Amino acid sequence: MVEQRDGRRRTRRAALAVSLGTLGLFLSGCTLPSLHTENKWWNQTMNFGFPEGITPEGIAIREFWTLTVITSLIVGFFVWGLIFWSMAFHRKKKGDEEFPRQTGYNVPLELVYTAVPFVIISVLFYFTVLTQNKALHLAPEDQVGVKVDVTAYQWNWKFGYNRVNDVGGVTIEDGTNHEAQRAAEEAGVLSDEQREALGHDGEPAAGGPIHGRLAEDKSFLYYNNIETVGTSEEVPVLVVPTDTRIEFRLASADVVHSFWIPEFIYKLDVMPHPGSNQQLSMFQVERIEREGAFVGRCAEMCGTYHAMMNFELRAVSPEDFGRYIEFRQDNPTATNAEALEAIGQDPYATSTAPFKTGRSDTRDTNNIIENASAN
Ligand SMILES: [Cu+2]
């Protein structure tokens, strides 16, 4: 008897190992199927509300989303089916006095409905990890074509080029504005008088100096020679090349913001003092797959004009990007709009318009500044 039971247990274990192994083998060879076709309507339907995506990371996230929704719908229809089937065919009929047949403790059935959800969760988990690894992957420095520094502040953006690695024939080894960086370092240090006036000799205090530096210290921010800054009349346009690996380094000058380009299908919080906040403050995209203007937004409620904190990502060919950088190097006083015009691009944002920020004139009129980007 005992031997027989042992044998059966061994068989069952072997069967479990084989099925888990097969599942693993099956999954490891798997990439997400793309349901995209030539038909635009079908593609949009299959996106289930998500944007198309313009980076391999974004497209992977969108395809994962499609798979997840389809899986949920299959499970959903199965469950609804069972519910309605029970309601329709197992109603109490006239004259029924007895309980129907009870099927509790049906071991095979219970095993099936424990195992099936486990398999569904395993498959979803596998693809979650796969997609997440792709989205968070950081390639080594020498594979990065352009390094962009992003500074968020209430309520606009500053973009700077920290490094360009042979894009359109242009290379910038070190784009840091060392003078501005040094000035920020110096401005953050307490003077002897300030130290004395505060009376606690540079010790940490609420609203006071931190480690001997002023609370307003901005030396953790990035400063570059080529920078694009937005104003309340002009939406900042961040120019980047297509088909190039791009790294974005993020830092906030005040509160927490979030850097969001919907077409990346990815966003990342922008923190002040990212180092001290234990925040990975950067991400990369393998490449931007097509040229165009794509809207960007702040996705973290950051105060009164949060909703107006927009920007534009302008993806141009690597050749045009090289020309753009050269123009900005040669004409340090020229505006971003002039540089865009010089490479035959729209000088102002086309995907979003600036808002009027004055409270009195937003009350009963359209609060978009009409022609700021139209001229
Ligand atoms: Cu913000």
Q: pLDDT grade, residue 374 (50/70/90)?
A: very low
Whether pLDDT at 268 is above 70: yes
Q: How far is ligand 1, taken at its centre, from the CA of residue 359, in Å?
A: 18
Whether residue 2 has pLDDT greater than 60: no
Domain residue spans in the chain? 31-88+105-136, 143-176+223-362, 177-221
Q: pTM (2 decimals)?
A: 0.81
- The predicted pLDDT at position 352 comes to 85
Average pLDDT over residues 85-93: 88
Give the per-residue pLDDT at 16: 60
The share of the chain scoring above pLDDT 90, in percent, equals 53
pLDDT, greater one: 97 or 21: 97
pLDDT tens for residues 44-67?
Answer: 888 899 999 999 999 999 999 999
| Level-2 CATH architecture, domain 143-176+223-362 | Sandwich (2.60)
Q: In 137-207, where does DSSP find H-type helix?
A: 178-187, 192-198
Q: How far is the CA of 65 from the centre of ligand 1 (A)?
A: 26
How far does residue 250's CA lie from ligand 1's centre (Å)?
12
Cα of 152 vs centre of ligand 1, distance in Å, is 7
**Structural Rg of the chain based on CA atoms:** 29
Query: Could you report the per-residue pLDDT of 247-267, keeping only the tens digit for each?
Result: 999 999 989 999 999 999 999
CA of 54 to the centre of ligand 1 (A): 23
3 state DSSP class of 172: strand
87 CA to centre of ligand 1 in angstroms: 51
Ligand 1 centre distance from Cα of residue 49 (Å):
24
Task: Say how many Å lie between the CA of residue 2 and the centre of ligand 1.
Answer: 69
Instruction: Name which of 288, 302, 180, 304 is nearest 240 in CA terms.
Output: 288
CA of residue 155 to ligand 1 center, whole Å? 6
363 CA distance to ligand 1 middle (Å):
22
Average pLDDT over residues 80-98: 88
- The tokens 């971003």 sit on which residue? 336
Mean pLDDT of 193-219: 63
Lowest mean pLDDT among 220-224, 307-311, 339-343, 361-365: 361-365
pLDDT band of residue 204 (cuts 50, 70, 90) is very low
Give the integer Cα–Cα distance in Å for 263 and 149: 19
Provide the percentage of residues in the chain whose pLDDT is more than 70: 80
pLDDT at 291: 96
In the prediction, which pLDDT does 231 show? 86
| Residue 366 confidence (pLDDT) | 57
From ligand 1's centre to the CA of 311, what distance in Å?
A: 11
- Give the model's confidence band at 274: pLDDT under 50 very low, under 70 low, under 90 confident, else very high: confident
State in Å: Cα 44 to ligand 1 middle: 29
* Neighbour order of strands in the sheet with 292-298: 237-241, 310-316, 292-298, 257-261, 266-270
* Token pair 């001229």 in the structure block, residue: 375
